[in-house]
Amino acid sequence: MTETSESGARGRTRRAILSAAARVLARDRSATLADIAAAADVGRSTLHRYYADRDVLVQAVVEDSLAVLQEATEGAGLDQGPPADALRRLVAALVDVGDRALFLWGDPRVLEGYPTAGDPDCEPVDDPMIELIERGQAEGAFDPGVSAQWIQHVVWGLIYTGAEDAAYGRIPRHGVAQLVIRTLENGIRPH
């Protein structure tokens, strides 16, 4: 049985550990396994039964976080309805898992060894967000004067900033998606 297909108490415990680790490590890269166990509301020995050491845990959090972000993107239904509405759903879905973005992009070393879109050796992959942006540009909803990749980076930058500000109490968590959407829409409309 894979980590993502576990059910029952074992699956809930694993998900709690991974979620807590992403949240804790996003805010403090030097957090101990004891800090993570406490945030997951499990004992340190329980955490060690799932993840033998910090490196194994961090690797699992990277893989889980990438999967969580992909799942959030797929759940937003980017191919449904007008592009602006789909982008709003995407922002809301990604803000809901903002701790995962903070974890992944808060430290450039976290994704070492993983292919990224900017990597010249990376195989091109279908990117639903790019496809949505390009559709929006073609339909006149988004500014065609900038690249789809630029808009994507702006979206990720705003989501990261909103999640970080919420994590540090600078803005209420429930207001992040609305603020990101407002800032984004005022910046990408065609002129």
Q: What is the pLDDT of residues 99-134, one digit of tens each?
A: 999 999 988 888 888 766 555 555 556 799 999 999
Task: Tell me how crowded residue 90 is: count the other CB atoms within 10 A of its CB.
Answer: 23
Percentage of the chain surpassing pLDDT 70? 88
pLDDT-wise least confident of 53-57, 68-72, 113-117, 164-168: 113-117
Q: What ranges do the domains of the chain cover?
A: 3-188
Amino acid at 178: Q
> Under CATH, what is the fold of the domain 3-188?
Tetracycline Repressor; domain 2 (1.10.357)
DSSP string, 86-152: HHHHHHHHHHHTHHHHHHHHSSTTTTTTS--TT-TTSPP---HHHHHHHHHHHTTSS-TTS-HHHHH
Assigned token pair, 74: 């797929």
- Give residue 148's pLDDT band: very low, low, confident or very high (50, 70, 90): very high
pLDDT-wise least confident of 115-119, 125-129, 166-170, 181-185: 115-119
pLDDT at 100: 94
Q: Average pLDDT, stretch 65-82?
A: 95
Q: Record the pTM.
A: 0.85
pLDDT at 122: 54
Q: How far apart are CA 12 and CA 15, in angstroms?
A: 5
Does the structure show a pLDDT above 60 at 176? Answer: yes
